[in-house]
Amino acid sequence: MASPPSRRAVLASSLALAACGATARGSAATPAAPLKSAAPFPVGTCVQSAQLDDPAFAALLEMQVSQIVPEWEMKMEYIAQPAGAFRFDAPDRIAAFARDRRLRLFCTALVWYAEKPDAFVHLDESRISFRDAFANYVAAVVGRYRGQAVGWDVVNEPIVDDGSAWRDSLWAQKLGAFEHMRLAFQLARQADPGAVLFLNDYNLERLPKKRATFMRLAEQLLKAGAPLNGLGTQTHVNADLAPGQITAAIKDLASLGLAIRVSEMDVSIVRARGLLTSDDDLIQRQAALYVEAADAFSSLPARQRFDFTFWGLRDPESWLVRENASDTPLPFDAESHPKPLIGAWEAALRR
Ligand code: G3I
């Protein structure tokens, strides 16, 4: 049962509704400051190297966020090439952009059930063991950004959708259901002693059972001596998510005392469309969810607030919009105009 939203959340959510209402009536909502200047913690977004060619996007990044996360080009699907080769042009470009503009670089993901590149699926194990090929990959990739990447999602989405078990994967089959995860953390730590290492998953708000299984895995990794430093909750939510679920998830995850990331937040309108809710109603509920996340995250002890990352800044760049062009999940519109929800999100940080 989700805990009722805090007084702060209720107050902050009323800000969200007022902000949206003001805009609907045509009056100006509170003008938003740059996201990163409103937050007492790092604010991030995902990026693709090709987006850096757009001067307007590069300027928006530099103005709004203090951290960037390669959306897909730091993953095996981009880097792992045949015969143990690696492709680093795109991740290097993103890393250079971060360095040149003094932005933090956070990397995702080292091990993900969804990534099984041919280089590993068709590995010639007479030439090299699977474990050595895996260790070589982690050492090469994490080692390359040693001293620049502030952290890594070492294991991404380890829990099955209904929360009942750990996911099966090529990595689990080849290296062990638990051992592949423990080993990934150990190898990442060896490759970069300074990186903050995370376990990351989604639907931890909507599915308390999945969150419980995720947290038990975290405890088991810690007990096994894995250098697990933090927990990421992706926070890909739909606008009809019940109030209080985000608050309950962040509080629960933080109870282990580790660093916490809101790692990939967006709020889908399209996925929440139903017979009883208008888009106007969903837009107000979307704002309230962004506000609830700001309220819950800012309520954490400062030492646990690692970063709050949006999975994109402008609607057209969202993976959700690639799925349905009419979705509007992000804080900025196609013309880089801030939405009313930003003013409310920022007000929630000040409460
Ligand atoms: O840009 C290339 C394009 O040049 C090429 O023609 C096309 C077809 O091959 O691929 C394009 O790259 C795609 C890229 O997204 C950019 O659109 C990749 O194939 C595709 O795999 C990649 O998908 C990403 C996905 O993770 C898998 O890495 C999404 O952008 C990204 O938003 C999504 O992010 C995940 C998080 O990592 C984990 N949580 C869920 C989240 C959403 O699925």
Q: Give the pLDDT confidence of 174-203 residue by residue, as tens digits.
A: 999 999 999 999 999 999 999 999 999 999
Using CA positions, which residue lies closest to atom 21 of ligand 1?
72
Q: What is the pLDDT of residues 238-272, one digit of tens each?
A: 999 999 999 999 999 999 999 999 999 999 999 99
Q: What is the pLDDT of residues 263-310, one digit of tens each?
A: 999 999 999 998 778 989 999 999 999 999 999 999 999 999 999 999
Site to substitute for ligand 1 among 45, 319, 330, most atoms within 8 A of C-beta = 319
The CA distance from 136 to 115, in Å, is: 17
Q: How far, in Å, CA of 153 to CA of 218, rounded?
A: 13
The CB of 264 under 6 Å from ligand 1? The reply is yes
**Which of ligand 1's atoms lies nearest the C-alpha of 156?**
38
Q: Which residues pair with 90 in a beta bridge?
A: none
DSSP state of 75: S
- The mean pLDDT of 141-147, rounded to a whole number, is 97
Q: Is the pLDDT of residue 327 over 60?
A: yes
Residue nearest to atom 27 of ligand 1 (CA): 72
User: pTM, whole model, 2 decimals?
Assistant: 0.94
* E strands present in the chain: 43-47, 67-70, 104-112, 149-156, 196-201, 230-233, 236-238, 259-268, 305-310
Cα 153 to Cα 198: distance, rounded to the nearest angstrom: 5
Mutate to test the pocket of ligand 1, among 53, 72, 313 (most ligand atoms within 8 A of CB): 72
Ligand 1 touching residue 67 (CB < 6 A)? no
Say which amino acid occupies 351: R
Q: Terminus-to-terminus CA distance in the chain, angstroms?
A: 26
- In this predicted structure, what is the pLDDT of residue 31? 61
Q: What is the mean pLDDT of residues 146-150?
A: 97
266 CB near ligand 1 (under 6 Å)? no
Tokens describing residue 188: 């990442």
Contact 283, 340 (CB under 8 A): no
Ligand 1 in reach of 309 Cβ (< 6 A): no
